[in-house]
């Protein structure tokens, strides 16, 4: 079975030869090929080379297009700061929608006409040429809460839930339309799975999540599925209070960060949800020994059960020892 076959089987609960291995590598992959992160984030050829080299060296079953969460926001015109060797970051002091009235005139960027979104499409086209069906090719979009925070500013958006909930839903509608349009072009370019990153969703309580965020995440997941691609949900942070909602979205794969126990995720999401994670990427994967990494993987596997994909709770830290990362693929190769 190819890496793509293994991931598809894991996501659908089918029998496979072994476990899938899908840790998130961005800065690690960049450093592996000796590139500057500014180039990794802005030149699709550098990103693709880093991902392919990492997948080959460490036995990963997929490649991805992730570099930072500011891709769509940058093309919308948001204030983004670029650094020589760190990920680009949203500058909330220059939030695009500091004036709420600007939303009515905001246009969805054309992802095929240049810009950072187009750079992602070019990465997918190059993956399709170089990978074929040997690895799962994963595109990426921002979730409703994450992208709304990028456009409005996270702290201001938190107040909007109480001060102007109608604006929040209008903003989420814009985000949903933009991200589904972007997903459509990514799938056409070669993505077989679309990751949805909605990190800011872990910062609100379950009531606000259910009322505002869940409905838009659900429409986003359903929209991607309707286009024929799988969905991987990644919400960084402590998601313990919203695990049930995350499990009702119908995602093929749900990442669990180390702050939320896999055992609780399994209980709250049921036996049919494929879970990925949730090793602490710093305390265990970066700072631990290979034996400690293996022991934690065994624990994660036991808590998650059969429908489990090997990976860390969040991004693999850039200076993670190579021998520790290889434990992940070694474990995946020898377990099912």
pLDDT value of residue 80: 97
pLDDT value of residue 144: 98
pLDDT value of residue 223: 98
To which residue do tokens 């709304």 refer? 148
- The whole-angstrom separation of Cα 31 and Cα 271 is 38
pTM for the full predicted model: 0.97
Q: Please check whether residue 138 is in contact with residue 4, taking contact to mean a CB–CB distance below 8 angstroms.
A: no
Domain assignment of residue 320, yes or no:
no
Domain assignment of residue 292, yes or no:
no
Query: What residues of the chain score a pLDDT lower than 50?
Result: none
Q: Please check whether residue 293 is in contact with residue 285, taking contact to mean a CB–CB distance below 8 angstroms.
A: yes
Domain assignment of residue 266, yes or no:
yes
User: What CATH number does residue 233 fall under?
Assistant: 3.20.20.210
Q: List, for residues 282-309, the tens digit of each pLDDT value.
A: 999 999 999 999 999 999 999 999 999 9
Domain assignment of residue 96, yes or no:
yes
pLDDT value of residue 84: 98
Q: Mark out the alpha helices in the chain (DSSP H runs).
A: 3-12, 27-32, 37-42, 44-58, 71-76, 115-131, 144-152, 154-163, 165-189, 206-208, 214-226, 243-247, 262-269, 290-304, 322-334
Domain assignment of residue 260, yes or no:
yes
């Amino acid at each position: 079975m190819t890496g793509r076959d293994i991931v598809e089987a894991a996501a659908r609960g089918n029998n496979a030869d072994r476990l899938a291995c899908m840790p998130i590598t961005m800065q690690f992959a960049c450093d592996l090929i000796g590139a500057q992160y500014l180039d990794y984030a802005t030149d699709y050829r550098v990103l693709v080379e880093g991902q392919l080299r990492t997948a080959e060296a460490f036995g990963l079953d997929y490649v991805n297009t992730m570099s930072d969460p500011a891709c769509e926001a940058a093309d919308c015109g948001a204030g983004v700061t670029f650094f020589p060797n760190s990920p680009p970051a949203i500058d909330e002091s220059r939030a695009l929608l500091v004036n709420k009235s600007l939303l009515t005139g905001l246009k969805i960027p054309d992802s095929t006409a240049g810009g950072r979104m187009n750079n992602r499409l070019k990465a997918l086209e190059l993956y399709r040429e170089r990978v074929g069906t040997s690895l799962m090719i994963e595109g990426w979009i921002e979730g409703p809460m994450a992208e709304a925070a990028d456009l409005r500013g996270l702290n201001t958006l938190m107040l909007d839930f109480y001060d102007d909930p109608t604006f929040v839903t209008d903003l989420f509608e814009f985000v949903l339309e933009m991200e589904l349009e972007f997903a459509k072009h990514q799938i056409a370019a070669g993505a077989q799975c679309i990751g949805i990153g909605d990190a800011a969703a872990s910062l609100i309580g379950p009531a606000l999540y259910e009322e505002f965020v869940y409905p838009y995440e659900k429409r986003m997941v359903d929209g991607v599925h309707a286009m024929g691609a799988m969905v991987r949900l990644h919400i960084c942070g402590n998601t313990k209070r919203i695990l049930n909602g995350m499990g009702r979205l119908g995602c093929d794969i749900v990442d669990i960060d180390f702050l939320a126990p896999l055992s609780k995720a399994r209980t709250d999401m049921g036996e049919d949800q494929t879970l990925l994670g949730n090793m602490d990427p710093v305390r265990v994967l970066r700072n631990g020994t290979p034996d400690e990494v293996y022991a934690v993987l065994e624990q994660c596997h036991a808590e998650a059960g059969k429908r489990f994909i090997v990976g860390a709770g969040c991004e693999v830290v850039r200076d993670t020892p190579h021998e520790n990362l290889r434990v992940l693929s070694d474990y995946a190769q020898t377990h099912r």
